[in-house]
């Protein structure tokens, strides 16, 4: 994708509806879509398949740049990974202790998930490694993983400021710890779980609020169920032997979120999103949108490979502002750029607090979204740990900067559906990290978007 996306207000004289509240016109979002596979689950399928015994078959794999960075890293460590189609691959596992020392630095591009989870996995290896990434990744905080890993006995160093590159020395043995996470983070939790597979003794990781549990679910699928004591995950590495299995990656709810918001805000919309992962630790976006008045139904709920999946129907509804419940914040942390667009279209005030984590994502998502909304005429006030948005006004045209953040770029594409004039979004190349066919799929749903 090029570095600029140009969005014009979608005016179709054969299918244009008017919002009685604001006089906004937009082409209804209708039909059925299946967004690409879940990025988080795709990462983990490669990581666990690589250290399992046997051949793991993965379907629904996301061909995003972040996931391909994970694939390349394990290939560099001697793992045979074959791509059979855009969404299917096989991984010939080398076992828990079969990874080989990479000959070069492992470049993980823009992927925070890759570098944080791999730091845990590599902390217990008998070889040294160096992990780095692009300029954005090199700004992201890593002490949240390096400090507990050091407490486990890992020799791991960061650049000045606690950012990548990470230099990990050959391990002389890790020891178990009892760790209470200061901030809810699935990446930190997963990092420590993977390190605990190589530690002496039983590791306990306590989280202050529920976070996505894909690592725990997938480990169970590979024959390694973990213990649970309330808010604490318990890892006992004795007699661990991961066995290859089949992994069916559901559609990514984080990608589906943009289309949920689009269908909610454009009059006349009625959209069915197929085979979406609805893990209870990931459905904060559905819960929040419903509290705002969104018309969202989950049907055909089933479980595939340990992960709940559903077809999600979304119809346009009149949204209203809310105080976002604190317990929903960790369950929707990646979806807030889309939620902010919904808030801009909702009547009244929406208040988010307790989301300081958004400031250390691929960009400072609080400031980047506030700046973009303000540029489009929305009353948005950033705070230290959230935002206050007074919605219900007309969204104007203008230019916004995504700061190289894929979710910022895609969020403002959805704003373009109800904008009164064209919106130009700059620095959009990283959309390919999570949603390589975003432009094509958005057009198929009726979004008038061009890559320039």
User: How many alpha carbons lie under 13 Å from residue 21 in its C-beta half-sphere?
Assistant: 17
3-state DSSP assignment of residue 400? strand
Residue 53 has a pLDDT of: 97
Two tokens, residue 70 = 């994970």
Amino acid 432: pLDDT = 78
Tens digit of pLDDT for each residue in 246-280?
Answer: 999 999 999 999 999 999 999 999 999 999 999 99
- pLDDT exceeds cutoff 90 at 171: yes
- 212, 186 Cβ separation under 8 angstroms: yes
| Res 218 pLDDT > 90 | yes
Which strand (E) or helix (H) includes residue 352? strand 348-352
Each residue's pLDDT tens digit, 390-424: 999 889 999 999 998 999 999 999 999 999 999 99
Structure-token match 């299918």, residue found: 15
**CA-CA distance, 412 to 433, in Å (whole number)?**
17
Determine what percent of the chain falls in helix, strand and coil, rounding each to the nearest 5: 30, 25, 40
Place of tokens 């604190």: 326
Q: String of b and e for 422-437 (b: at least 16 CB within 10 Å)?
A: ebbbbbbbbbbbbbbb
Q: What is the pLDDT of residue 162?
A: 96
Residues tagged active-site? 334
Count CB neighbours of 303 within 10 A. Answer: 8
The pTM score is 0.86
Buried b (16+ CB within 10 A) or exposed e, 363-374: bbbbebbbbbbe
Nearest by Cα to 372 from 355, 397, 354? 397
Query: What is the average pLDDT across 197-211?
Result: 96
CA distances (Å), 381 to each of 22, 137, 399, in order? 22, 26, 18
How do strand 423-426 and strand 398-401 relate by DSSP bridges? parallel
* Residue 385 predicted with pLDDT over 90: yes
pLDDT over 90 at 143, yes or no: yes
pLDDT for the residue 21: 29
Looking at CATH, the fold of the domain delimited by 4-37+250-451 is given as UDP-n-acetylglucosamine1-carboxyvinyl-transferase; Chain (3.65.10)
Contacts of 55 (CB under 8 A, 6+ apart): 90, 91, 92, 93, 244
pLDDT of residue 430: 81
Rounded CA gap, 152 and 216, in Å?
20
Instruction: Determine the topology of domain 39-248 in CATH.
Output: UDP-n-acetylglucosamine1-carboxyvinyl-transferase; Chain (3.65.10)
pLDDT at position 281 is: 93
Residues of the chain with CATH 3.65.10.10: 4-37+250-451, 39-248
Structural tokens at position 95: 């076992």
CB atoms within 10 A of CB 207: 20
Looking at every residue in the chain, the average pLDDT score rounds to 91
Q: Looking at the DSSP assignment, which residues form a beta bridge with residue 93?
A: 54
Cα–Cα distance measured from residue 156 to residue 169, given in angstroms and rounded to the nearest whole number: 6
User: Minimal CA–CA distance to 411: which of 260, 185, 212?
Assistant: 260
The per-residue pLDDT for 3 is 43
pLDDT at 311: 98
Q: Averaged over 414-441, what is the pLDDT?
A: 87
Q: Which has the minimum average pLDDT: 156-160, 180-184, 371-375, 429-433?
A: 429-433
């Amino acid at each position: 994708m090029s570095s600029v996306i140009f969005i014009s207000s979608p005016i179709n004289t054969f299918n244009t509806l008017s919002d009685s509240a604001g006089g906004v016109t937009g082409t209804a979002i209708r039909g059925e879509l299946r967004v690409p596979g879940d990025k988080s689950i795709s990462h983990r399928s490669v990581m666990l398949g690589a250290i399992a015994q046997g051949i793991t078959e993965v379907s629904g794999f996301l061909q995003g740049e972040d996931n391909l960075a994970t694939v390349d890293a394990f290939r560099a460590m001697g793992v045979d990974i074959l791509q059979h189609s855009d969404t299917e691959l096989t991984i010939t596992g080398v076992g828990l202790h079969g990874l080989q020392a990479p000959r070069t630095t492992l470049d993980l591009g823009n992927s925070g998930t890759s570098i944080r989870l791999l730091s845990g996995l590599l902390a217990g290896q008998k070889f040294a490694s160096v992990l780095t990434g692009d300029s954005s990744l090199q700004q992201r905080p890593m002490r949240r993983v390096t400090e507990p890993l050091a407490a486990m006995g890992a020799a791991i160093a960061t650049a000045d400021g606690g950012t990548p590159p990470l230099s990990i020395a050959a391990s002389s043995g890790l020891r178990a710890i009892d760790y209470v996470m200061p901030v809810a983070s699935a990446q930190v939790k997963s990092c420590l779980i993977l390190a605990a597979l190589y530690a002496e003794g039983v590791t306990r990781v306590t989280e202050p609020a529920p976070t996505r549990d894909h690592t725990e679910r997938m480990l169970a699928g590979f024959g390694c169920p973990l213990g649970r004591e309330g808010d604490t995950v318990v890892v006992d590495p004795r007699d661990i032997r991961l066995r290859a299995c089949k992994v069916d990656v559901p559609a990514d709810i984080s990608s589906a979120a943009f289309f949920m918001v689009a269908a909610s805000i454009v009059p006349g919309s009625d959209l069915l999103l197929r085979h979406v992962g609805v893990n209870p630790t990931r459905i904060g976006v559905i819960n929040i949108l419903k509290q705002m008045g969104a018309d969202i139904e989950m049907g055909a709920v089933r479980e595939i490979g340990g992960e709940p999946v559903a077809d999600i129907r979304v119809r346009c509804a009149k949204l209203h502002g809310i105080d976002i419940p604190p317990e929903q914040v960790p369950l929707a942390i990646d979806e807030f750029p889309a939620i902010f667009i919904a808030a801009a279209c909702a009547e009244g005030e929406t208040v988010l607090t307790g989301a300081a984590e958004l400031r250390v994502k691929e960009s400072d998502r609080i400031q980047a979204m506030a700046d973009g909304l303000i540029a489009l005429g929305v009353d948005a006030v950033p705070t230290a740990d959230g935002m206050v948005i007074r919605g219900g006004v007309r969204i104007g045209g203008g230019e916004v900067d995504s700061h190289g953040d894929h979710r910022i770029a895609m969020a403002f594409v959805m704003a373009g559906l109800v904008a009164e004039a064209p919106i130009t979004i700059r620095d959009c190349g990283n959309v390919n990290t999570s949603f390589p066919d975003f432009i094509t799929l958005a057009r198929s749903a009726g979004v008038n978007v061009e890559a320039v």
